[in-house]
Structure 1
Amino acid sequence: MQSVAYIQRASSGNVTSKDTKDVDISPVKKELPTTEMCPASNLVIGYLNLFSDGIHNFTDGMALGSAFLLHGSVGGWSRTVFLLAHELPQEVGDFGILVRSGFSVSKALFFNFLSALVALAGTGLALVLGKEPGQSSFIEGFTAGGFIYIAVAGVLPETNDGKTTFGKTVVQLLSLLSGMAVALCISLVE
């Protein structure tokens, strides 16, 4: 049942029907959702997010393993730093999705940590399989294809939302070019 309050404005002591307004004053819950409050469909979203994040972390781990094999210590560690810069905001977002879908804060942290550990399995697999000639290049190509897919299927549609102005397009292109320039500089230094 909705609560409706009648707010009356007095003008010169007389209140008419024109002065009465309906205002919804329904109570608003300001607490984080818990498993009991969330429908099962919200929990499914959380578990699907964990699954996809685990696959993503696995391929990130494979990229790290192949970077160490192909480019040595310097190339491996530089890619590790960039991967951490990429992962930190994503993991914070994943944590928010898990909490919003009904996980408690402690469960969200725990499962998000487990999902991040899957990267170690990807690194280990790349280090084991990549020792054979040509395999490391195959692994790096596979993970690069995954990153290109994420950029094309996930990021690119968001940049063209139908409300793009010329200024926004210029900022997007400059951001893209600066990212490419940083990657080129790093590859030239290595």
Structure 2
Amino acid sequence: MSFNNIFKCTDKSKIMSTTTYILASVILVSLVSVLAAIPLLIKKKTSHKVLVFLMSISVGTMLGSVFIHFMPEILETGYTLTTALYILIGFMTFFLVEKIVHWHHNKKCEQESGHSHAYHLAPLNLIGDGIHNFMDGLVIAGSYIVSIPLGISATISIIFHEVPQEIADFGVLLYSGLSKLKAIVFNLLSALTAVLGAIVGILLTKQEGFNTFVIPFAAGSFIYIAASNLVPELHRQCKLTDTIIHILAISLGIGLMVILLILSPEHAHQ
């Protein structure tokens, strides 16, 4: 189904079904974001190897989403200069968001000798994380509007990325001096911006040009997160066994996207 023909179908039940998928997915992502902080709430440190394994799967699911699910949709409408610019806008947007996140993490490192100004980290973290989650919701909504399998693909990729991300962000909130209760409340509010992003995405589908923008934008954002944000973290572990685990986990993520494509109704009718 091409972007420009998405809303030629006026079946209200189908539209409602898509909206249900969108809202259920962003709520699931928000809940996962909060549940990921439970180990820190019960004073149990999450194994670094587990986090790296999840990041490796995330690399596979995100790159798999881009090249197995997003690119065929993009190429169906013709790859133009505008399409390329939309992909680059997605890449640069998430680059800027990560700049904000890295800036407050650097502030944390500078102040490890004392906590006199550490409380300034909380609003910076919440703003950066909120923007990130908002755009996640936007991407999920836009993906589901194109097709259900595409939306599921985007949701799975984002979930695997969110777990290690939210554990780190929750740790920053605790470091800034917030109580565990306040940290979990603020973390939930930040996560719920994904719902707001999804609602905005649903509303924007009526705007001409949005559907041709959102999938290339999502592709660019996923490429940035996978290649520039996650892969460098994997390079920190140089042992042969670690490398083998990374390759297997990335392959698992790609495999999930392949299976999703095979099981999709669109693929069954090809």
Q: TM-score range by the shorter chain?
A: 0.5 to 0.7
Q: Which residue of 2 aligns with 1:115?
A: 190
Q: Which residue of 2 aligns with 1:64?
A: 140
Q: Which residue of 1 aligns with 2:241?
A: 167
Output the CA distance in 2 between the equivalents of 1:93 and 1:160. Answer: 18
Q: Deviation at 1:62?
A: 0.7
Matched to 1:145, the amino acid is: G
Output the CA distance in 2 between the equivalents of 1:175 and 1:77. Answer: 19
Mapping of residues 5-154 of structure 1, within 5 Å: 38-40=115-117, 42-72=118-148, 75-76=150-151, 79-80=154-155, 83-132=158-207, 134-154=209-229
The answer to which structure has the higher helix fraction is 2
Asked if structure 2 preserves the Cα contact closer than 8 Å seen for 1:130 and 1:139, the reply is no
Asked if structure 2 preserves the Cα contact closer than 8 Å seen for 1:62 and 1:140, the reply is no
Larger Rg: 1
Output the CA distance in 2 between the equivalents of 1:160 and 1:82. Answer: 20
Output the CA distance in 1 between the equivalents of 2:232 and 2:162. Answer: 21
Give the CA RMSD over aligned residues: 2.4
Scaled by the length of structure 2, the TM-score of the pair is 0.49
Output the CA distance in 1 between the equivalents of 2:241 and 2:219. Answer: 30
- Greater relative contact order: 1 or 2 (C-alpha under 8 angstroms, separation 6 or more)? 2
Matched to 1:158, the amino acid is: E
Scaled by the length of structure 1, the TM-score of the pair is 0.68
Asked if structure 2 preserves the Cα contact closer than 8 Å seen for 1:65 and 1:127, the reply is yes
The answer to which structure has the higher strand fraction is 1
Identity %: 35
Secondary structure at the aligned position of 1:38 is classed as: coil
Q: Which residue of 2 aligns with 1:178?
A: 252
Structure 1, 152-161 or 177-186: larger mean CA deviation: 152-161
Output the CA distance in 1 between the equivalents of 2:164 and 2:243. Answer: 23
Q: Deviations over 1:42-78 (max 9, x none)?
A: 2222222211111110111011111221114x65456
